[in-house]
């Protein structure tokens, strides 16, 4: 019960349906509840979000779902308000919502660029902005931003994704410095190559998947639970001396 008594809001958390391939947010929501937290799941996928929350409750967890488009400030205001209405406080925010765009510089359209920046950079900013006032009221909290190893290193594609994840990485450090004295910790997680609903299509390409596997010293791609364990750690009091940090979970990929 490492998160006993804590209330968390997790964006991009609809991908936690039992029996289906899970994403980081869905896996984290399930793990948070097993560790004693009460969780608000936010996502634009209402069907899967409601089902995930329903299944968590059936398993004995305490969770509710809210529709949340992370690029919309009114949606964030409503999601935070719904969290307070349901549970009375907000201890943990996980900015997890994400999309992919595997294009080179020349292939990247303006719309693709804006879409990546909006979801990963603007979404992280808006969530943090509206969570902080509630955390200040109770004397602290933990914000976990899901960046990527592609926010640290480059690749042959994914131009806008790199830029957006790099933005969330540096935004994390800025927010961490601004609110450290208020006991609000802000850290980023940098997943490596993981099999999730977001990567299924590209991983189905055998040549691309072989290219990925060659780059992972530990010998396998990650899964959603591999990252969720890191999210739980940063959300818990076990990481109380960490802020502005980058937790890389990548099977050794960026160590080479």
Q: Which residues are catalytic?
A: 161
Max distance between CA atoms of the chain, in angstroms, equals 52
Q: Is there a contact between 52 and 41 (Cβ–Cβ < 8 Å)?
A: yes
Calpha distance 169→190 (Å, rounded): 9
Calpha distance 69→115 (Å, rounded): 12
Q: What are phi and psi of 171, to 5 degrees?
A: -60, -40
Task: Name 211's Cβ contacts closer than 8 Å, sequence gap at least 6.
Answer: none
**E strands of 122-228, at which residues?**
141-146, 184-191
Q: Is there a contact between 160 and 113 (Cβ–Cβ < 8 Å)?
A: yes
Helices (H), the chain: 24-34, 46-58, 73-87, 110-116, 123-137, 159-179, 200-203, 206-213, 224-235
């Amino acid at each position: 019960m490492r998160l006993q008594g804590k209330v968390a809001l997790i964006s991009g958390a609809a991908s936690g349906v039992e029996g289906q391939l899970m994403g980081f947010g869905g896996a984290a929501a399930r793990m948070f509840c097993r560790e004693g937290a009460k969780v608000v799941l936010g996502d634009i996928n209402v069907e899967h979000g409601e089902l995930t929350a329903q299944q968590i409750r059936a398993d004995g967890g305490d969770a509710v779902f809210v529709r949340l488009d992370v690029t919309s400030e009114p949606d964030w205001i409503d999601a935070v308000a719904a969290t307070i209405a349901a549970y009375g406080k907000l201890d943990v925010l996980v900015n997890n919502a994400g999309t992919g765009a595997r294009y080179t510089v020349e292939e990247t359209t303006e719309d693709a660029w804006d879409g990546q920046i909006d979801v990963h950079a603007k979404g992280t900013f808006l969530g943090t902005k509206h969570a902080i006032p509630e955390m200040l009221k109770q004397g602290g909290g933990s914000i976990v931003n899901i960046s990527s190893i592609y926010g640290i290193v480059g690749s042959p594609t994914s131009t806008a994704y790199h830029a957006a994840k790099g933005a969330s990485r540096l935004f994390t450090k800025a927010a961490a410095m601004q609110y450290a004295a208020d006991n609000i910790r802000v850290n980023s997680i940098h997943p490596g190559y993981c099999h999730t609903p977001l990567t299924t299509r590209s991983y189905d390409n055998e040549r691309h998947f072989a290219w990925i596997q060659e780059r992972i010293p530990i010998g396998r791609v990650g899964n959603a639970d591999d990252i969720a364990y890191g999210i739980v750690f940063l959300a818990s009091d076990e990481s109380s001396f960490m802020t502005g940090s980058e937790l890389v979970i990548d099977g050794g990929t960026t160590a080479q």
